[in-house]
Amino acid sequence: MSLSSSLLSPHTPRRLLRPLLLPLRLSSSFPSPAASPLAMPPRRDHGKQPQQKWKPKAAPPPAAEEFAGGVKKMTLAPKAAAAPAAQVWVPRGYATSASPSSSSSVAAEQGGASDKLSSIFNGAKDFSVDNNTFTEAKIRATFYPKFENEKSDQETRTRMIEMVSHGLATMEVTLKHSGSLFMYAGHYGGAYAKNSYGNIYTAVGVFVLGRLFREAWGKKAPIMQAEFNDFLEKNRISISMELVTAVLGDHGQRPKDDYAVITAVTELGHGKPKFFSTPEVIAFCRKWRLPTNHVWLFSTRKSATSFFAAYDALCEEGTATPVCKALDEIADISVPGSKDHVMVQGEILEGLVARVVSRESSVQMEEILRNFPQPSLDGCNSDIGPSLRDICAANRSDEKQQIKALLENVGSSMCPDLCDWFGNSGIEAQSRNADRSVVTHFLQAHPTDYATKKLQEMIRLMKQRHFPAAFKCYWDFQKVDSLSNDNLYYKMAIHVHSDSVFKRYQQEMRRNQGLWPLYRGFFVDINLFKANNKKAAELSKDSNTLLKNIDGSLDSSSSTKDDLADEDSNLMVKLKFLTYKIRTFLIRNGLSTLFKDGPSAYRTYYLRQMKIWGTSPSKQKELSKMLDEWAVYIRRKYGNKQLLSSTYLSEAEPFLEQYAKRSPANQALIGAAGNLVQTENFLAILEAHRDEEGDLQPERGTSPSSPTSTSLDVVSKTEGLIVFFPGIPGCAKSALCKEILNTPGGLGDNRPLHSLMGDLIKGRYWQKVADERKKKPFRITLADKNAPNEEVWRQIEDMCGTTKAAAVPVIPDSEGTETNPFSLDALAVFMFRVLQRVNHPGNLDKASPNPGYVLLMFYNLYDGKRRRDFESELYERFGSLVKMPLLKPDRAPLPGDVKSILDEGISLFRLHQSRHGRAEPSKGSYAKEWAQWEKRLRGVLLGNADYLSSIQVPFDVAVKEVLEQLKAVAKGDIKTPDTAKRRFGNIVFAAVTVPQADILGLLRELGKNDSDVNTFLNGIKVEDNLSKAHVTLAHKRAHGVAAVASYGVYQNQEVPVSFNAFLYTDKMAALEAQLGTINGEKVNSRNDWPHVTLWTAPGVAAKEANTLPELVSAGQAKRVPIDPPITISGVLDFY
């Protein structure tokens, strides 16, 4: 039973208790008032509650003594060993007297324990699963699932605003601190990084967390640390935080201080994890005096739309101070973080995270802020011992030395023993890796409870689908006292290797509503054990009864989250700032390209990144100049020796600082620079090529935070072009390549064409393509081979960089399915075409023994990609996309026997792949079934030959359309396909645009009635010079971001504009305007004098038109009234 529901009657409907959930959770979850000066809200039921007290563990040192000597005992350098015995780490279970005689006894005892453990570890390899083998799994630490929105960023924004507008949700926005994920479940629960534990990352995390307690609690820190550990372990809670330090490698900016911010609190319980709401997280943190993030809540349509407009206005120049200031002005509720980003991190802000939460969040937040004021920090002015940087600087020999020094200095209240880092009982930590068979045994054993069954289901599915993920198992050294040959304890780390797995897993969750989410930072405790016959029978009976009772009700009862539908509860957008991306993506992640392939390839890399982000043309131009200069500077300084990514800011920050000083424009481009924190003397010692966060390489295959640009892609005639085919055998690529080669004039320019057919090339095809392109990089290469996956696409991208070429994918046009970019109709046609072939160079024709299997294998390579995602990713990578017509739109439905034979083949393929992987169908246990299916497939397809022929677009028509599209790509005339996302520009001002034709009509009428006006208008040739007409409402520079963003609620809506006067001098002219209403709300301009500027003389800025009323008053300008006023409808938008 969860903490939040432990006091609730089991007979009370949960939905009726929702308003009570927060106060009950808080009153039952946190330590008693006696342990803290902060009292909790009174219980609303006025019932008596058993007082929760922290009970000290056996024989600890007195708290006062421990703190009094704790800081004094802290050391920078490791202590000299007094005796050999002192080198042995003694776990609690074996602690004895320190006398010489007892030391010998300890050594002997440890030696025996070590031998015993070694015997168990070695014997575990022979552990076998039988009917008496059971397993229990408990989630030990986890972070939020990584949800990938099925909608584009713009669709997600729109849906979020709609939900807020209709009172269905509140939008929550938090700062994205630039650090590493760290999770903590108490000392015995464990400390974890995103994908690992027991290393320098987790040691740094434990030290920083322990130091935060010392800052917060002062002399009471040891007591509170021990109580906090005890509380987390007793209640099975883990906390997640963003760990921001200068010792674990460079991100966007080296922090001024080492700190952490709590981002999630997870109630693990004995089932599916439950995450605290943000108000509950803040209450939890304030009770324990832990740092919280800055949070903004937007509960109205106006505030929600204003937020997105504010981001669009700041996305290319935003830093922490203006971003926080703008959001403070816009948000309905602003809760400042307990760590000021500018003070501890700096001005460079990674981004913002916006998500929808319960509509009650605002009310809950206000209640929490009333009941839990920001606590004071008792130790901030005290000596709390050496800092993280001091300790790392004093311990430079190796990673183990740094880990040991950090954990010794954090104190025994926070970290009583070090077995997770250094092993136990003489068994080294290197021996903690368990045999790979553990996962197999876990999946085969009987589950003892519901949680275990669900975790088995998740892992089994991921392995069956061959998702790129590792299930790494380690011996659990915290459980050494309980280990035996028939009772084994492990920790499992679920490490997802590709972000695409999360999207594919979400699709599986839509098909199977009972699946548990796939979490980020996912660690599970596993117990494998054998029971005697009697106990096994009891366990089996109890387990089956439990699973039967729970299976149909538990997940269905929790199918919604905070009263939001599943799809909506996961709506989230991550919005990053260009000032951060300059440093991380363009400079740091471009280092390998710059040093390996040279400045030209680096330029191709950074231009592509900016195109993906939709960077405005002006910023692209400024950045190109700066990055080209950076490339020359760093190559000249380092030659061919690549600058390390982990310390790149040592060179980049001084360069950026000097560049920013040259002009205000440069300063705005860079955002902030200077005051570099030097890390060379205290950087943590990491294993080679290890990066816990995995962000030191360019992001590939993931959707950008900002959508793609709609600008045209022009292929220079001095560059080459690679035409490639992400398709399936039978998609007619070879026939198409022949037609292109035989087309007079090629693609409309003088670049030579050549084709490389994959079936005729021995060895590594794409390496051959690269070699041929290096010989003649300016020609057009037709890569006549299927290019089905991201690995091939990366190779093509690399070729583009190294041979100065563009690339264009040609794909068969198909509707696709929910899980595949190609429909079953398309698959049937491809198979039918292959069965028509004779003497195919690759031996995939009617004479092949298993053509159906081969095509299913290719079809499966695209599994998990929706058509829209498939096209979007290709366009984002390569900037263009050509579609080859395949099926007639008015075709009859696929015949039932064709659909059935394909469905049967897909099911058989999955069975075969699950058991035999990539083995040939004739070599597996389904050989007989494959032979029968291949025979029936031929019969069904040939029996429907007329249908399959009739639904295809004629080949000559398809070739003609493809040629036209390819020529457009070569000329630069191709437009963004429908799959591209809307580009959000860098907003500068808000305005109402009125039709140019209507303004000219108004002026003509005005000229007819006033000869002086007519003469003036003819003189300035207004009809030739007026290109646009708008009434400016607010400008970012003059009125601030929040002022501009406030018009977001009216975006794209019509506004009546009344013109009541014409003002002019010999240097400028304008129409005086009065804005009307939208849905009954008056639209006001922040300008003192709303107007449309019609003309200014050469050398006169448009903003000078604002002075016309003053010039009229001074007799230096004329004002011609328009009576009655003329009203024209305009549209409000951002520019």
- Domain residue limits, the chain: 1-50, 153-421, 577-670, 720-971, 989-1134
Tell me the residue type at 681.
N
Q: How far apart are CA 210 and CA 212, in angstroms?
A: 5
Hey, CA dihedral for 1073, 1076, 1078, 1082, is it positive or negative?
Answer: positive
CB atoms within 10 A of CB 167: 11
On whether the CB atoms of residues 562 and 278 are closer than 8 A, the answer is no
788-818 pLDDT per residue, tens = 888 888 888 888 877 778 889 999 998 887 7
Question: What is the overall mean pLDDT for the chain?
Answer: 81
Torsion of CA 998, 1001, 1003, 1006, to 10 degrees: -130
Which residues are catalytic, by number? 176
pLDDT of 1059 higher than 80: yes
> DSSP code of 288?
H
Highest mean pLDDT among 339-353, 413-427, 738-752, 784-798: 339-353
CB atoms within 10 A of CB 801: 19
Q: Please, which pLDDT band fits residue 520 given cuts at 50, 70 and 90?
A: confident
Query: b/e per residue, 985-1002, with b = 16+ CB within 10 A?
Result: bbbebbbbbbeeebbbeb
On whether the CB atoms of residues 525 and 489 are closer than 8 A, the answer is yes
Q: Work out whether strand 446-447 and strand 133-141 pair parallel, antiparallel, or are unpaired.
A: parallel
pLDDT of 317 higher than 80: yes
Hey, CA dihedral for 891, 895, 901, 905, is it positive or negative?
Answer: positive
Residue 205 backbone dihedrals phi, psi, to 5 degrees: -60, -45
pLDDT at 135: 94
Residue closest to 663 by CA, chosen among 698, 621, 622: 622
Q: How far apart are CA 1020 and CA 1038, in angstroms?
A: 29
Residue closest to 518 by CA, chosen among 455, 567, 470, 473: 455
Q: What is the mean pLDDT of residues 435-440?
A: 87
pLDDT at 921: 87
> DSSP code of 535?
H
pLDDT at 541: 66
409-433 pLDDT per residue, tens = 998 999 988 888 887 755 555 467 8
pLDDT at 240: 96
Q: How far apart are CA 1033 and CA 1021, in angstroms?
A: 27
Highest mean pLDDT among 383-397, 603-617, 1089-1103: 1089-1103
Provide the token pair at 431: 């021996």
The CATH code of domain 720-971 reads: 3.40.50.300
pLDDT of 18 higher than 90: no
CB atoms within 10 A of CB 254: 24
Highest mean pLDDT among 377-381, 735-739, 1057-1061: 1057-1061
Q: What is the mean pLDDT of residues 554-567?
A: 43
Which residues, 6+ apart, have CB-to-CB distance to 875 below 8 Å?
A: 708, 881, 976, 977, 979, 980
662-702 pLDDT per residue, tens = 998 999 899 877 666 665 555 555 554 444 443 333 333 33
> Residue 237: which H helix or E strand, with range?
strand 237-244
CA 1120 to chain CA centroid, nearest Å = 58
pLDDT at 569: 60
Scanning the structure block, which residue is given the tokens 């739109």?
Answer: 889
Of 231-235, 726-730, 1027-1031, least confident by mean pLDDT is: 1027-1031
pLDDT at 1031: 96
> What are the C-alpha distances in Å from 136 to residues 459, 543, 560, 1016, 1129?
14, 11, 27, 88, 68
The CATH code of domain 989-1134 reads: 3.90.1740.10
Q: Please, which pLDDT band fits residue 614 given cuts at 50, 70 and 90?
A: confident
498-515 pLDDT per residue, tens = 887 888 888 888 888 889
Say whether the peptide bond before residue 386 is cis (omega within 30 degrees of 0).
no
On whether the CB atoms of residues 311 and 327 are closer than 8 A, the answer is no
Q: What angle do CA 1110, 1083, 173 make, to 5 degrees?
A: 120
pLDDT of 588 higher than 90: yes
Q: What is the mean pLDDT of residues 219-235?
A: 95
Q: How far apart are CA 141 and CA 137, in angstroms?
A: 12
Identical topology for domains 720-971 and 989-1134: no
Provide the token pair at 584: 């991380």
445-469 pLDDT per residue, tens = 999 999 999 999 999 999 988 888 9
Q: What is the mean pLDDT of residues 270-288?
A: 93
Identify the residue with better confidence: 481 or 785.
785
Tell me the residue type at 764.
R
Q: Where are the beta strands (DSSP E) in 1065-1111?
A: 1068-1075, 1077-1078, 1081-1082, 1091-1096
pLDDT at 631: 95
Q: Where are the beta strands (DSSP E) in 279-384?
A: 295-298, 333-335, 351-357
pLDDT at 897: 93
Q: Please, which pLDDT band fits residue 1016 given cuts at 50, 70 and 90?
A: very high
Please state whether 218 falls in left (phi above 0), alpha (psi between -120 and 50) or beta.
left
On whether the CB atoms of residues 157 and 178 are closer than 8 A, the answer is no
Q: What is the pTM of this model?
A: 0.69
Provide the β-strand partners of residue 295: 174, 335
Provide the token pair at 896: 């039932």
120-179 pLDDT per residue, tens = 666 666 788 888 899 999 999 999 887 655 556 777 888 999 999 999 999 999 999 999
pLDDT of 192 higher than 70: yes
DSSP 826-889: HHHHHHHHHTT--S-TTS-STT-S-HHHHHHHHHHHTTT--HHHHHHHHHHHHS--EEE--B-T
Identify the residue with better confidence: 63 or 510.
510
Residue closest to 405 by CA, chosen among 430, 429, 422: 422
What percentage of the chain carries pLDDT values higher than 90? Answer: 49
Q: What is the mean pLDDT of residues 51-80?
A: 44
Q: In three state form, how does the secondary structure of 426-468 look? A: CECHHHHECCCHHHHHHHHCEECCHHHHHHHHHHHHHHHCCCC
Q: In three state form, how does the secondary structure of 872-895 look? A: HHHHHHHCCCEEECCECCCCCCCC
pLDDT at 636: 92
> DSSP code of 179?
S
> DSSP code of 381?
T
pLDDT at 54: 34
DSSP 760-773: G--S-HHHHHHHHH
Q: Please, which pLDDT band fits residue 17 given cuts at 50, 70 and 90?
A: very low
Residue closest to 859 by CA, chosen among 913, 926, 805: 913
pLDDT at 466: 86
CB atoms within 10 A of CB 11: 5
Q: How far apart are CA 695 and CA 304, in angstroms?
A: 30
Of 107-116, 912-921, 967-976, 997-1006, least confident by mean pLDDT is: 107-116
